Structure formats: C-alpha cells, structure tokens
Amino acid sequence: MKHLSILGSTGSIGRNALSIVAMHPDKFNITVLAAARNIILLSKQIKKFKPRMVVVLDEVHAHKLESLLEKNQRPEIMFGTKGYINAASYRNSDIVLLAMVGAAGLMPAIAAIKAGKNIALANKETLVMAGDIIISKAKEKNVTIYPVDSEHSAIFQCLQGNKQKDLKKIFLTASGGPFRKKSISEFKNIQLKHALNHPTWDMGPKITIDSATLMNKALEIIEAVHLFNLNPCSIEVLIHPQSIVHSMVGFKDGSIIAQMGIPDMKNAISYAISFPRRLELELEFPDFTSIKELYFEKPDTSKFPSLEFAFEACKQGGTLPAVMNAANEIAVNNFLKQKINFPDIFKIIRKTMELHKNIHNPELSDIIDADIWARQISQSLI
C-alpha cells in the first residue's frame, strides 16, 4: 500500500490519478489532496477518497469547502503557500504527485524533497525554473523524481534495463498542435477556441495553449536535460501528429527503443506512482493496421520559435530558463483572456528573454526574483 499525496487533484492529471487509485484501492491510500479553486469537485473527491489533509488556495475557498462537508467528513483543511508546503511534506505520505500548474509548483517541490518524499513530477515548470537546484537537492536527500510528463515517462521507460552512459540521443516527439499546417500569415487570426482544441491529448487550458505554440515542447527539452542529465544537443524534436510514439531513446550501438501507446495520461501517471510495477489500466492498444503508418517531420522553427528559445535558455542557463517560463505564463494568461493574439505570445517571450540580465549559478532566491521580474516585464509589454 502506497500513501499518496496529490497536489493539483482537480486538474486533468489529478483526476486521472484518482481514477487509477479508484481502480486499485488495495494499492493506494490518499493522504493529502490539494487544489486551488474547484471546491465542488474537491469536496466530492474528499468524500470518496477520505484524505487526512486538504489544501485550497485561500481562506475564502477553505470556508466554502468546509460548508460543503459534514462535520464527520472533514479532514484538516489548510490554505495558501504554507498549506501547499505542508501538503508536499506531509509526514505519512510515501510519494507526492506534483500536478499543480506553472511556477506555483516550485516551492512544494522543494518542500517535498526537503522532507525526503519521492516525487511523481507532472509540473515541468519546476525543473525548467530550478532544475539544477532541484536535482542536486534530490540527490542529497536520496529522493527519486519519477516523470509524469508522457514524453519523459517514455524516455524513463525506454531506459529501464539500460545504462545511462549508453544513451546517445533522445527523440522527443510532439503532436505539433492544431496549427502545424497553418501558414505564419494566418497566425494572427487564430482564435482562442481553436487553440484550446488539441488534436490528440485532453489537458488543461495552459498546457493546451503551450502545445499549440510548441512552448510545451520547449519546456520539455529543458525538463529532459535535467531529468536525464543530457546535453541539449542530443535532443531532437520530432513532430508526430498521431501521438502514438511518446518518445524514443537512441543508444550507442544504433538501437532505438520507442515507448508507444494510445495518448492517455493514465499510463505515465500509473508508472510514476507505482514504479517499478505496471498496473492493469484496461487501456486499448493502438490499432496499427488501421493507423497504417506512423508519421514524423521536422518542426518549423520559423513558425514556432519556442524550440529555439529553449535551446538558447539551456545554453545560457542561469536564470534565463525561469524567465522564459514566466514570460510564457504571462503571455498565455493574456491570450486566454483574449488580450493579445497568438503571434504576440512569441514576441513577448523573445523580448523578455532579450531584456534579461542573466544570473549564472543562481540561488533559489535569484530564480524567484527573476521569475517576478519577468512577469512584470512581460506584463508591461502587453
């Protein structure tokens, strides 16, 4: 029996994780659930999974949640940053699924590592912002970080039984998003509802826009560099619209191992929370004879400069990856509010990165300052 904390329980990853737990009640016990504002769904999750502790965004939401629960159903309810940190380091948990969106995942990740908790990491921004610090702290505390991002789970799965030193190349696949075939002149006419319509994966709004801009892949390049200790030059991004091959690892003897499956997050989540065991998930296999061929193409970086931002951020290091991430969060937020158009997202990220005075070998406080700086600058560009 594993005792599991889920931070971000009402989002797409959190809901999928709870559906896995519901399928395997003999293997998991939910100790903590943390969400932000979706109190109605959270209250249902509490009634079903009976966590010991629950965290929400603020006091108002905490009171609302309390009013939805009978006295005898109420776990300990906390709120805010302190609450999330307590949730991440909760003493009775074996593993923490970190599935909060954006930079908000950073401090809970640090707290979980400090408390010596293994992490199933769905929040890629944490490694993008502070990968060096996170990885070295995790090593120090003997904490394992299991990837939940489907591509990184694929790489992790391909590496099982192999030696890291034999790894030569990573083929990081990307669906290409809904605008792969659009010409750059059409980009300014892209509407929010089209951007929110992802062709293969069902995800939250932020990551869906990130997929449309390929910023999701940009963040994943940096995430992979940290998780697998890679030279960025060894990563090749391949557009693979069918999303059947979730990524591939090339070894020094010329072998390539691919991890495949239908696009369903439950595979990666279950592998992360139950490693090294595989769970029965009742997922279908792809029907290869009806797919007929698997298609791959080079990404067009003149249309989608995000990948160049990522390689530049990797090359420069320091606080630049955190700045790239923060500028993207602000740009996406404003696109979701329909305050800027689609190509503006790239302009804002590029300009903010250009304006940044990079700090090398940053402390955590430098990274947090750079994040705040980048948010202010990118907002002022809108």
Among 264, 311, 255, 308, residue whose Cα is nearest residue 283: 264
User: Quick one: tokens of 236?
Assistant: 């090749």
3 state DSSP class of 375: helix
The first and second tokens of residue 238, run together, are 């391949």
Residue nearest to Mg ion according to CB distances in the complex = 149
CB of 203 to Mg ion, least distance (A): 9
Residue list 10-39, contact with Mg ion (CB under 5 A): none
Match 């490694």 to its residue by tokens.
127
Q: Answer positive or negative: Cα dihedral of 112, 114, 118, 124.
A: positive
DSSP letters for 336-366: HTTSS-HHHHHHHHHHHHHH----SS--HHH
Closest distance of CB 283 from Mg ion, Å: 17
Q: Which is nearer to Mg ion, 15 or 137 (CB)?
A: 15
The span of 6-14, 148-156, 168-176, 306-314 binding Mg ion (CB under 5 A) equals 148-156
Q: Is residue 149 involved in binding Mg ion (CB under 5 A)? A: yes
Q: Order of strands across the sheet with 245-251?
A: 235-239, 167-174, 245-251, 256-260
Which C-beta is closer to Mg ion: that of 204 or that of 343? 204
- Give the SS3 label for residue 231: coil
Contacts with Mg ion, 354-373, as mask; x by CB under 5 A: --------------------
Token digits of residue 4: 């599991």
210 interacts with Mg ion by CB under 5 A: no
Q: Rank residues 51 and 102 by Cβ distance to Mg ion and give the closer one.
A: 102
Cis peptide bond prior to 276, omega within 30° of 0: yes
Helix (H, G, I), strand (E, B) or coil at 277: coil
**Can you tell me the distance from the alpha carbon of 168 to that of 371, in angstroms, rounded to the nearest whole number?**
33
Output the smallest distance, CB 220 to Mg ion, in A. 6
Which residues make beta-bridge pairs with 310? Answer: none
Interface with Mg ion, residue 125, by CB under 5 A: no
User: Nearest distance from residue 149's CB to Mg ion, in Å?
Assistant: 4
Instruction: With CB under 5 A as the rule, give the number of residues binding Mg ion.
Output: 3
Q: Which C-beta is closer to Mg ion: that of 126 or that of 150?
A: 150
Q: Minimal distance in Å, beta carbon 151 to Mg ion?
A: 5
Residues 168-187 contacting Mg ion, CB under 5 A: none
Least CB distance to Mg ion at residue 323 (A)? 22
Residue 243 near residue 229, CB atoms below 8 Å = no
Scanning 77-85, 145-153, 241-249, 371-379 for contacts with Mg ion by CB under 5 A, the matching segment is: 145-153
Scanning 84-92, 150-158, 224-232, 359-367 for contacts with Mg ion by CB under 5 A, the matching segment is: 150-158
Q: Which residues pair with 239 in a beta bridge?
A: 174, 297
Minimum distance, C-beta of residue 204 to Mg ion, in the bound complex (Å): 12
Segment near Mg ion (CB under 5 A); pick from 5-13, 46-54, 86-94, 149-157: 149-157
Residues forming contacts to Mg ion in the complex (CB under 5 A) are: 149-151
